Chain A
Amino acid sequence: MTFSERMLKIDRRIIFVVIGLCTLLPLLNPVGLPIKISPEVRNVYDYIESLPERSVFLLSIDFDPASKPELHPQAIALLRHAFRKNLRVVAMTLWVSGTGMADQLLKQVSSEMGRERGRDYVFLGWSPGGSAVIINMGQDLYTAFPSDYEGKPTRGIPVLEGVHSLKDVTYAISLGAGNPGVEAWYVYGKDKYKFELGGGCTGVIAPGLYPLLRSGQINGLIGGLRGAAEYESLIGQKGRAVAGMDAQSATHLAIIVLVVMCNLFYFSLRQQKGRG
């Protein structure tokens, strides 16, 4: 068996170890590689930055713990920015399996930023119907969510004063890991009720959302852990996403090297067989 053949039949567990080490070592010894801010992430930041105080900011946390490593840092960074700008935060989720996580997230960031439930933010929780909830909210927010996550009637909550439907929302962001997510918010929300919409998503679905970004259907997009790291850099509060960027770069480099090596061995073997 030639060297190329042996390398092409290498035990896949060796590759797992290589990838594991490439991820683990930078996490233990961070280098601090520079992070370049992309225009799509900056657009979201700039839009929030331009909002006047006490504007209504709707954050739809449309993911569950399976996508937590990518979208949780985005949510934390966005909430920190919104609370710092003294916006009225209306949070909700279209994913039933993400309700507990979303509530914990809001409690964590609000206590860190000294914001009060009911006065500065509200967590509406989950309501059945998927995309239909968005249409319902566009007609009457209090029909879609008669009570908040804690069971308190939503009518009369101070943070919702003057908010009757999605038409009263200044800016909405959906952090989506699938459907319903960013696309549903555009189709059933922004396109019908005319509020500005931004998006945050996992890396897997980011390429599918770029056409919406280019056509102006969403005004910005935070894609994956990389996008979260960019947003953390913009607000000046570096967290888990920035800490993970060295590991991300190292694993990407390892995968590129593996792909190149694999191709070299493959073509080398093909050449040897051609000679034989």
Chain B
Amino acid sequence: MPQPVSVIDMDATILGAWMATGLTLFIFSFLYQDNPLFKLAEHLYVGVSVGYTIVKAYDTVIVHLIVKPIVEEGQIALLIPVAIGLLMLTRYVPRAAWMSRYAFAFIVGLGSGLAIPRTISSFILKQVEDTIRPLLAHAGGDGLTFSLNLLNPSSGLNAVIILIGVSTVLFYFFFSIEHSGPGKIVARTGIVFLMIAFGAAFGYTVMARMSLLIGRLTDLIEFSDVSYGRPTWWLLVVTIGVLVLLARRVPNRPPDLP
């Protein structure tokens, strides 16, 4: 007895491998120069992403969270949020556009009410509390100690560094007085802390981008296998061939005017 499901699955895997390989190579072709293959992949990405999001949102929100509960379970109360949501669509009718303000007012009011207290608590109060932690720690019966261990995030030395960093960076952004004399030293120290922070952020960004490249190349290596029909090799030839053809078709640029 044949197994049609597994055959379909296998075909879908191979088709997916060819699609993924082709689109990856088409996108990478931009590194050489802009070309129609890149445009095709770029437009497909945007189109598929938007299409997928619309379908998933329609199925989850309209079908499963609105229509089914109202029709099958009789949850009439859901008509209230539906009505508020529909008010937003009045933006498209100029004479009725004022009604959308009620919906926006509801969302802005609710959103602010939920976000402001929680954000202040989480990102301001908690962080301030962590910044001004005691420099000296209790060490049982021995009294107070000051730890010099740089590798321990809660050591006294790290607390001092954080305190200096926060104070000097805040001073750097204090523009009401001129940064001269001792103030200049403090502001410069703030710049040093900022530069270290930017450097660390940039280093992580480089790592992230390289990880994406590693991910794509790992897939390209996997899809060069004979079990997939070697899409990497075939589509690499196609991509290079198209780039060569395009390079030949482009007419010579007129010489630049003096």
Using CB atoms and an 8 Å cutoff, list the residues of chain A in contact with chain B: 13, 16, 19-20, 23-24, 27-28, 68-70, 96-97, 99-100, 125-128, 131-132, 135, 146-147, 151, 183, 186-188, 191-192, 202-204, 206-208, 211, 214-217, 223-226, 240, 243-244, 247-248, 251-252, 255
Tell yes or no: B32 within 8 A of A by CB.
Answer: yes
17 additional contacts (CB under 8 A) given A96-B60, A215-B130, A251-B210: A23-B217, A27-B214, A27-B218, A69-B218, A70-B215, A96-B53, A99-B56, A131-B115, A183-B122, A187-B122, A187-B123, A192-B118, A202-B208, A217-B126, A223-B204, A243-B218, A247-B210
Tell yes or no: B49 within 8 A of A by CB.
Answer: yes
B221 closest partner in A (C-beta): A27
A248 and B207: CB pair below 8 A? yes
Q: Could you name 28 residue pairs across A and B whose Cβ atoms are closer than 8 Å? A: A20-B213, A23-B210, A23-B214, A27-B217, A69-B212, A69-B216, A99-B56, A127-B65, A128-B61, A131-B114, A146-B64, A146-B65, A146-B69, A183-B122, A187-B119, A203-B204, A204-B204, A204-B208, A208-B201, A215-B126, A215-B130, A217-B122, A223-B204, A225-B214, A247-B214, A251-B213, A252-B206, A252-B210
Determine the chain B residues whose CB is within 8 A of the CB of A183 once the complex forms: 122
Interface of A, helix, strand, loop or mixed by DSSP: helix
User: Known contacts being A16-B31, A187-B118, A223-B204, is A96 close to B57, with CB within 8 Å?
Assistant: yes
How far does the Cβ of B221 sit from chain A's closest Cβ, in whole Å?
6
Tell yes or no: B145 within 8 A of A by CB.
Answer: no
Determine the chain A residues whose CB is within 8 A of the CB of B213 once the complex forms: 19-20, 23, 251
Tell yes or no: B127 within 8 A of A by CB.
Answer: yes
A211 vs B154: C-alpha distance in the bound complex, in angstroms? Answer: 12
Determine the chain A residues whose CB is within 8 A of the CB of B208 once the complex forms: 70, 202-204, 224
Determine the chain B residues whose CB is within 8 A of the CB of A224 once the complex forms: 204, 207-208, 211
Determine the chain A residues whose CB is within 8 A of the CB of B210 once the complex forms: 19, 23, 247-248, 251-252
Give residues of chain B (207-246) contacting chain A, Cβ–Cβ below 8 Å.
207-208, 210-218, 221
A216 vs B154: C-alpha distance in the bound complex, in angstroms? Answer: 11
Tell yes or no: B200 within 8 A of A by CB.
Answer: yes
A188 closest partner in B (C-beta): B118
